[in-house]
Amino acid sequence: MNKKIPFSPPDVGEEEIKAVTEVLRSGWITSGPKTAEFETKVAEYLQTGKALALNSDTAALELVLKAFNIKEGDEVITTPYTYTATASVSIHRGIKPTFVDVKKDSFLIDIDKIADAITPKTKAIYTVDIGGLPVDYDAVREVLKAKNREDIIFVSDSAHAFGAKYKGKRVGSQADFHAFSFHAVKNFTTAEGGALTFANNNFRGHEDLFKQFKLESLHGQSKDALSKMKAGAWKYDIVTDGFKCNLTDIGSAIGLVQLTRYEEMLKKRKAIFDLYSKYLAEKDWAILPSEGDGDTVTSYHLYLLRIKGFGEEQRNEVIENLAELDIATNVHYTPLPMFTLYKNLGYKIEDYPNTYAQYVNEISLPLYSLLTLEDAEYVVKELIKAVEQVRK
């Protein structure tokens, strides 16, 4: 009988269950005191000015566009090598994203090509920290400075990068804004959830950007639910056409416990990452993912293996063969121009050759803090067998 190895189950235990139970019994389960505490603790952990807790990374990405009135007629630059959320938030606002290919043999946007994509209509750039490996944020800023376009808002989709480091500091304050995901498959979870972080609460002359974002995340309502529930405090105003994307105290309670455990969880992920690399470094067909380049340290969210010489069909055969052994693997990501939505918008994968080259032979191995080293060793040995069987 085969060992059953899932791809990425959440690491939640009795402490998280107890914390949720306490919130359920408290009588206050939506955004309230736990969420406020969680926002403070996340900002402290990331050493940044503010952290706004939300229901998703997607909401964080879209709130920036809303708050700065980036809309139809404007342009937003991003990468086609990402999950759809990074680009679809622009589409919601009537903007067709401008895609810049990834750098050759990299999963990260080609910073040297960003300059050529900037036009007078460019209002924002959304880079992506794929697998938890940070983009070179300073290099992006240098491009904007050289183009005399420091007015462009720089947003990092850091969905994967909670706990990653850039030049010795945790990711969360290097771009103008960072969006994080706390979805169930992420390193750090609140079940569903995310956060928007930023260092400057007065960015672009705003009096209190955190307060504005909070307003935008709660229907544009001038009082949050906790304030409204105080006796006699029912009256409120609607001051903007906001969203409804706040994080609950239930999710925040999970997150507060996860924060106390997170550094240990990261160590476990690194140990698995290193074990995979030890075995695969001996194989001339294995193109290993980067842990960082000295300035950057990954959060070990994904193990993005590429198999030299393989095409989609061979890669898919390996995935199927491992699935027969109850080993779940994945692909990160199908490039956006290959999906129906994006094809219908006129994108063609042929225009992004480096993106396609990264995708065509990529296979993501199970990487999570509940995976034992013994089971990780089993996974990598079976992977090697599966690849070498297909290569024959």
Average pLDDT for 190-197: 98
Euclidean distance between CA atoms 248 and 19, whole angstroms? 13
Is 103 designated active site? no
Express each pLDDT in 275-301 by its tens digit.
999 999 999 999 999 999 999 999 999
Architecture of domain 263-391: Alpha-Beta Complex (3.90)
Q: Is the pTM of this model over 0.85?
A: yes
CB burial of 68-98 (b: ≥16 within 10 Å; e: otherwise) equals bebeeebbbbbbbbbbebbbbbbeebebebb
CATH 3.40.640.10-classified regions of the chain: 14-255
234 band by pLDDT with thresholds 50, 70 and 90: confident
Q: Which residues neighbour 309 within 8 Å (Cβ) at sequence distance 6 or greater?
A: 285, 361, 391
CA nearest 177: which of 201, 193, 160?
201
Instruction: Assess whether pLDDT exceeds 80 at residue 312.
Output: yes
Instruction: Assess whether pLDDT exceeds 90 at residue 225.
Output: no
pLDDT at 128: 99
What the block records as the tokens of 104 is 């050759």
**3-class SS of residue 298:** coil
Instruction: Assess whether pLDDT exceeds 90 at residue 227.
Output: no
For the chain, give the mean pLDDT: 96
* Range with lowest mean pLDDT among 22-31, 154-163, 220-229: 220-229
What the block records as the tokens of 280 is 């695969």
pLDDT at 254: 98
CATH 3.90.1150.10-classified regions of the chain: 263-391
Q: Catalytic residue among 186, 223, 235, 283, which?
A: 186
Q: What is the CATH number of domain 14-255?
A: 3.40.640.10
Average pLDDT for 57-84: 98
Q: Which residues neighbour 342 within 8 Å (Cβ) at sequence distance 6 or greater?
A: 80, 87, 336
CB atoms within 10 A of CB 208: 12
- 173 and 46 in contact (C-beta within 8 Å)? yes
Express each pLDDT in 269-279 by its tens digit.
999 999 999 99
pLDDT at 392: 84
pLDDT at 229: 63
Instruction: Assess whether pLDDT exceeds 90 at residue 222.
Output: no
Express each pLDDT in 238-259 by its tens digit.
999 999 999 999 999 999 999 9
Euclidean distance between CA atoms 28 and 255, whole angstroms? 16
